[in-house]
Structure 1
Amino acid sequence: MKLLQDFNAFLNETVNLNSTRFDQLESSIESIKSAVRGLDWKPTIVGFAAQGSWAHKTIIKPLPGDPFDADLLVYVKPVVGWEAKDYINELYAAMGKLGLYKDKIRRYSHCITIEYAGERKIDVAPCIKERLQADVWEVCNRDANVFEKSNPLDYTDWLIQRNSICGSNNFRKATRLLKYLRDIKTNFTCPSFLLTTLLGMQVNTWDQGATSFADVPTTLKTLVGRLDDWLQANPIRPTVRNPVLFEEIQSAAWDDTKYSNFRAKINLYRGWIDDAYDESDKEESIGKWQRVFGEDFAAQATSEIASTVSKAALSAFRGSAIADGAVDLVALVKKIGRAALPHGFDRLPHMRRPRWRAATGTQLTVNVGAQLWTSRYGQRIRPIASLSLMQPGYWIRFNASNNLGLPFPDTYKIHWRVTNTDEVARRENALRGDYYPSDEPWIRWERLSYRGVHMVEAFLVRRADEMLLGKSDPFYVAIE
């Protein structure tokens, strides 16, 4: 499902740079402009321009603890006798004489960087106007002491055109989502300038008004699908050039290993995005979008659904004798057993969807057994069945086995999805729903803590290639 309201909320609350930080950025940049204009610095300043994500309007909120950054170009006339390194070195020296910036500046290959106590960073890069040729602009590589052609304004215009073709700023929003995906997954490398170019390459002039860019999730699906098609058609690292500056090879940011990994990850996430988009059940679709973007996507709705399973169950039996005297799902289970579980109980949105690819062919049978213990590694009390009613404070030792009741070979491993539900677990911030490793081969220990009906499932993964070979049915744990 598209879940348009959830996407809008996710962008506004989690992905986009909030207004306070944006205002701080704007204020800092204006102060830097004033400071640079007042420097005792030889170059004549022609003007300033935003560059990168700030200029392209694809800047996103950083992850907790990380600063966000912006790029500011200082357009200047050439200084006779100066080499490329001089523009940066002299700018660094002049800014260092100002008390406000003395302890904040750093010097890098193409810019000086002003750091604001881990909150934000602003890169200031000199850009030389028409040093040798009319209409040619150059940035300075201090390390190599060379001038490099640059065309940032035309590149920004190219992206504005892509965004206009898609309409409703959907290109910018989808780009922000993919940058967020990159940052939270941390398992592929693609600098923002290269990622933005790759996405822009997937938009054509004939796409104007196309339904394939009708809204944010549709645009995301279209861009990632087209990018994956292009990547799969290029198994060897291709050359990706700046679309407005042929000499600049942006794909130089990759080596063969990084490209191969990026290609594989985009293919994986393309499958997840298509799966979430095509899912017709709302709660299942939320869970699948969370597999893509993490638990902050539709977080409020997810928590609400997980914590109100008793309300859903009681509502299904409202007006019948079954509901008489029943205060929650546990009470209903005590009366009628499995029939009390509400529709969709075993696929609640907060349950993390499998991140492993399913192996083709026949899936292996995975069974889960359980025994009640006085404590972890204490005394074994008795075997228990799914949906047995139990008291809090005890422990359960879960074990996974094959169809013959035997452990699996060491070439496999078990990941356990442990899911809590209902209001008591929500109040304790303990709804869980994630995957956990075995405590010992094929074994998982869990303490009985919160009133409610909870679930434990075993997922069988082959070690050699991380393929999913099978999963168990849910083992339901009912705590009084």
Structure 2
Amino acid sequence: MLNFDQEALDAALYEIADKIQLSATKYDLAKQRYETIAEHLNEPESDVARFSPHIYPQGSFRIQTAISNSDEKDEFDIDLILEMNIDTDNDPNVVLDSVCRSLDRGRYKGKVEKKRRCVQVQYSDMHLDVTPAVLLNKDLPSRPSQIFDCHPQREDHVQAAPEGFALWFDEKVLPSQILEARRLAAKASVDPVPDQKQLDEKPPKLVALQLIKRWRDMQDSRRKGTIEKIPSILLSKLSADYLDGGDRSLYSVLSHMTNHLIGIMSRDLGVVLNPSYEPDELTDRWPGERRASAALPPNQEVFLEDLKLLKSNLEEMAGASARRHRELMASMFGERSSASGTALYEGSNFARQQGFASDKALVERLVAGGRAFLTSLSLGTSYEKKPKWPMIPSCFVQVTATIHPEKHGQQLRQIDNGGAVGIGEHICFKALGRPVRPGGPAFPKGSTIHWRVTNTGKVAARKRQLRGDFSDETGRSLWEHAAYEGIHWVQAFVVDARGNCIGQSERFCIVVS
């Protein structure tokens, strides 16, 4: 049995998932943009206006698994179906060229690019891929369609049912109450528009798939696209087949889903069909042909090795030090995207990193051992913000603290570094200096005192209150409220009139219980 804090791992993974989500604001913006594209295609100047163009979402945007495709900035790919009343035997190049001309004018001039199966409309923060299609049967909820493919080595005309797949995926993944709400909403609309779900409303299975997609994209980026990555719809189908048994731990679901995919990728995939519409083959483009002497196609072999590495990283995470945990998270999900998640894990696990089973055990030992025991701890965290000023030490500063029943209330007592504070009490920290000459000022004229406040422990992590940043309040005193069990600290920084940090106190710790 591994000795690790699953709650802390779950919190860290959810924080990372939150960073790669399509936010509610971006979702509304994407919806507004594809509705505007629909209006644009219906204008008289459009080549396709006479074909009654109609747009609706498909793919990751439709099934709520869209993620940012870059760790450096938040960029999203939004997949759309463009239904038109045209003949199914049209030449794919003629169809795509016509859509391209219809879009590449006015507000979209210079933002349009023709692809193999779609026309891409490019924004600075997202790409909208518009795939022309012909609806084959309007009476089926799956909306089977024919799409057009310009790839010289593939069929010109392909049948697909992205909405049918989305309905199947929803049934496999979403909780029953969400499905029922969606069915009621569908009765009032002719379009399959997804209802945007916040992260805390998504089941762990859905979030785990998003994290696996991020890992896939990180590996693809490292290889610079030299190996064709598994398509999202195929990955979604295989992941949805995993039965989570009602498991609510994201770490556990992610680990088991990875094992499930390893088992599938270790053997010949064969032909995988869209469960809602069998003419729609999900393996028509991936993994490709295998070499004569190879057990698996090259694309599949690479993805299998990626999944094995992901499994190894997840297992190592369970018992990793804070530093190693940061390295693993950054490798798996990107440094920028994982920063706040690793902070949550580190802050939540602070007591364990010091060799204690819980925050309570660390607090009790600190209360008993006082200042002498405090010096044996490894203080400092990776989520503490570094000072932004040039460091030119020339000034002494130390911190003292007094306890009060309320802010600016009567002083109850003074505490030393490492002293105990009850939850609900207020602390007034003060920065004391030392005059350079007798009778002189404690700090140089024109200098300012800045305060850095850092919390640790499970409760602070759960409340997203680990902080580690510099307070907006400046001056020789700082008021704080003891709200979370654990060990927390402040530091005072003296910044002179030229913007140099000329003094820095040691960490003044309080023990809240």
Contact 1:71-1:123 at 8 Å conserved across structures: yes
Report the AA paired with residue 71 of structure 1.
D
The number of equivalent residue pairs is: 328
Match of 1:182 among 202, 216, 220: 216
Match of 2:32 among 17, 27, 32: 27
Contact 1:276-1:288 at 8 Å conserved across structures: no
Normalising by the residue count of structure 2, what TM-score does the alignment of the two structures yield? 0.54
Q: How far off its partner does 1:257 sit?
A: 1.9
Contact 1:163-1:170 at 8 Å conserved across structures: no
Kindly provide the CA deviation profile for residues 22-70 of structure 1, in whole angstroms up to 9, marking residues without a partner as x: 2221211111011112224265226322111111110113322463111
Q: How does 1:45-194 map to 2 (within 5 A)?
A: 45=52, 47-63=54-70, 64-65=72-73, 67-79=75-87, 82-96=90-104, 98-116=105-123, 118-130=124-136, 137-144=145-152, 146-164=156-174, 169-185=203-219, 186=221, 189-194=229-234
In structure 2, do the counterparts of structure 1 residues 80 and 8 end up closer, same or farther at CA, with 3 Å as the change threshold?
closer
Q: How far off its partner does 1:159 sit?
A: 0.9
| CA distance, structure 2, for counterparts of residue 80 and residue 300 of structure 1 | 54
In structure 2, do the counterparts of structure 1 residues 246 and 148 end up closer, same or farther at CA, with 3 Å as the change threshold?
closer
Match of 2:252 among 212, 218, 236: 218
Match of 1:262 among 303, 310, 325: 303
Kindly provide the CA deviation profile for residues 229-271 of structure 1, in whole angstroms up to 9, marking residues without a partner as x: 2333x1x564434333345242632342221121122122223
Q: What RMSD, in angstroms, separates the aligned Cα atoms of the two structures?
A: 4.3
Kindly provide the CA deviation profile for residues 166-221 of structure 1, in whole angstroms up to 9, marking residues without a partner as x: 99533321111111222334457323222212212324xxx6xx23x334333222
Residue 248 (structure 1) aligned with residue 281 (structure 2): yes
Contact 1:78-1:130 at 8 Å conserved across structures: no
Q: Which residue of 1 aligns with 2:42?
A: 37
| CA distance, structure 2, for counterparts of residue 303 and residue 249 of structure 1 | 41
In structure 2, do the counterparts of structure 1 residues 157 and 95 end up closer, same or farther at CA, with 3 Å as the change threshold?
same
Identical pairs, percent: 16
Q: How far off its partner does 1:105 sit?
A: 0.8
Contact 1:51-1:152 at 8 Å conserved across structures: yes
| CA distance, structure 2, for counterparts of residue 273 and residue 141 of structure 1 | 39
Q: How does 1:368-407 map to 2 (within 5 A)?
A: none
Contact 1:286-1:349 at 8 Å conserved across structures: no
Residue 230 (structure 1) aligned with residue 264 (structure 2): yes
| CA distance, structure 1, for counterparts of residue 280 and residue 34 of structure 2 | 30
Q: How far off its partner does 1:341 sit?
A: 4.5
- Secondary structure of the structure 2 residue equivalent to 1:258: helix
Report the AA paired with residue 254 of structure 1.
P
| CA distance, structure 1, for counterparts of residue 42 and residue 80 of structure 2 | 14
Q: Which residue of 2 aligns with 1:300?
A: 343
Q: How does 1:366-445 map to 2 (within 5 A)?
A: none
Contact 1:286-1:298 at 8 Å conserved across structures: no
Q: How far off its partner does 1:141 sit?
A: 1.4
Q: Of the two structures, which has the highest relative contact order with CA contacts closer than 8 Å and spacing of 6 or more?
A: 2
| CA distance, structure 2, for counterparts of residue 349 and residue 263 of structure 1 | 33
Report the AA paired with residue 250 of structure 1.
T
Q: Which residue of 2 aligns with 1:400?
A: none
- Secondary structure of the structure 2 residue equivalent to 1:122: strand
Normalising by the residue count of structure 1, what TM-score does the alignment of the two structures yield? 0.57
| CA distance, structure 2, for counterparts of residue 302 and residue 251 of structure 1 | 41
| CA distance, structure 2, for counterparts of residue 307 and residue 190 of structure 1 | 38
In structure 2, do the counterparts of structure 1 residues 317 and 76 end up closer, same or farther at CA, with 3 Å as the change threshold?
closer
Q: How far off its partner does 1:163 sit?
A: 1.0
Q: Which residue of 2 aligns with 1:436?
A: none
- Secondary structure of the structure 2 residue equivalent to 1:250: coil
Q: How far off its partner does 1:86 sit?
A: 1.9
| CA distance, structure 1, for counterparts of residue 144 and residue 22 of structure 2 | 33
In structure 2, do the counterparts of structure 1 residues 253 and 66 end up closer, same or farther at CA, with 3 Å as the change threshold?
farther
In structure 2, do the counterparts of structure 1 residues 18 and 42 end up closer, same or farther at CA, with 3 Å as the change threshold?
closer
Report the AA paired with residue 300 of structure 1.
A
Flag structure 1 segments of 5+ consecutive residues without an equivalent.
333-339, 351-421, 429-449, 453-480
| CA distance, structure 1, for counterparts of residue 363 and residue 89 of structure 2 | 83
